Structure 1
């Protein structure tokens, strides 16, 4: 199996919405973004699948070394072998890739966030940086495009947090800021025990409004001349906003189940967004 085939398999097996945004890209850009996505999945799995935090830290340290080896032209992992040819072409830098690894390590160090500024820092590492790298691969000619991508990454991660509240709580992680839980009278035990209430719905409505604002602010930053190139990100946004709306229409019942869109609906949203340009 070639490095590119390995990354493709990783992307398909994940079942992620991101895969649908890759389908309409030219071949070389699709290879680059698939390799980047596979890199993110590999690093994320290092933390999610580890039962021993010490082992996870050792593996993350290995990934930091592997990023250095990749930029030195000597990668050893299939993912870094696939990503290495695209580094110079799309101006991908090591500091952003290392920032992603740092974000995954934050999940080992911290399971609660006191306020939104703290959560936003986490979101920058695990999502906004990915947005910046992705926008570079799609084709960014203006600095405002990278600002758009950074904000869009935040919107995606806020959507993930809303969707995964119950699942994350059962894993011992609560990303909703502590001061906001207190503001709405919701406890960590409520989340862990899936106690849906009017207070919880009010809390989630607050999170929903913040995520929608992040999408609106991101779109306002995207320069017209880069809009066509950035269609993969816009496809992702269409899928994620549809998911967010689905969660809201379901009454924010995210503690006891994980709400998702069907593959055919994702494909339809992807096609519709692509055609609209």
Structure 2
């Protein structure tokens, strides 16, 4: 890993038209740079288990990041992303920088994923979701200036639900690549076999698929909605600070509603919202029409 490589420019991450692009556009100018770098760091590390096919190499890279976090905590960051984030003005505010154990939690969760292409039980998968995306959203809340315990819990709840929605959106794509991101107990409860997801029949969905889809959609929806409700009871300043996360949450709600309406299509191809639709959702959240 070359720690002297230049930082990707802001027009590369997030990709224009992506959900993150529209969510980050709602961040206050003074905090958007730090938030972008935090999410870029999360994006770069989170894709390691999926992009590096050799588990040993992936683990080595993730353990490098653990060491880098330990060095950064001592004021000795080497990677440009961490250097940029630690020097961003918003990171200098008291309580704005996420606690270092929160950073490490995400890497440790990814280390689990490296050797876990299938989950024995749903409880373990849900702990993983909270340890990774839940922690990433909690860190984002801190950088946005919403660092009260209630605000961080609301952000973590949103992250948990959004991870569930993300797994649903990528269910077929991941399964075809060998990653079945569902607990075996959930598959058994709905009488769906792993091979029916990894090698889906183009002519007929698994008999238990409609019930499984409904379960996954409802669970993600409930958790995202719980996070949004938790945001609304915060002081107005913190509710406003969490606007980028609330925009992202509503984009996920729209996406999984679309997936639920498409039957088994998500098993065969990726379903996405158009950039115009994403922009419109973001605007309605910004205007207070979606809460």
- TM-score scaled to structure 2, two decimals? 0.88
1:26-60 CA-to-partner distances (Å, cap 9, x unmatched) read 22310111000111122123322213211111111
Quickly say closer, same or farther: Cα 1:88–1:128, change in 2 above 3 A: same
Q: How does 1:1-277 map to 2 (within 5 A)?
A: 6=8, 8-13=10-15, 16-86=18-88, 87-89=91-93, 90-140=96-146, 142-195=148-201, 196-222=205-231, 223-225=233-235, 226-276=238-288
Q: Secondary structure at the match of 1:75?
A: coil
Q: Secondary structure at the match of 2:138?
A: helix
> In the aligned structure 1, how far is the partner of 2:211 from the partner of 2:119?
19
Q: Which runs of 5+ in 1 are unaligned?
A: none
Q: Secondary structure at the match of 1:176?
A: strand
> In the aligned structure 2, how far is the partner of 1:7 from the partner of 1:78?
12
Q: Which runs of 5+ in 2 are unaligned?
A: none
> In the aligned structure 1, how far is the partner of 2:6 from the partner of 2:257?
35
Moved over 4 A (4+): 2-5
Quickly say closer, same or farther: Cα 1:252–1:149, change in 2 above 3 A: farther
What is the CA distance between 1:9 and its match in structure 2? 4.2
- TM-score scaled to structure 1, two decimals? 0.92
- Which structure carries more helix by proportion? 1
Quickly say closer, same or farther: Cα 1:95–1:136, change in 2 above 3 A: same
What is the CA distance between 1:265 and its match in structure 2? 1.2
RMSD: 2.1
Quickly say closer, same or farther: Cα 1:82–1:150, change in 2 above 3 A: same
Moved more, 135-144 or 248-257: 135-144
1:233-257 CA-to-partner distances (Å, cap 9, x unmatched) read 1111111100011111112421101
Quickly say closer, same or farther: Cα 1:46–1:224, change in 2 above 3 A: closer
Quickly say closer, same or farther: Cα 1:141–1:79, change in 2 above 3 A: closer
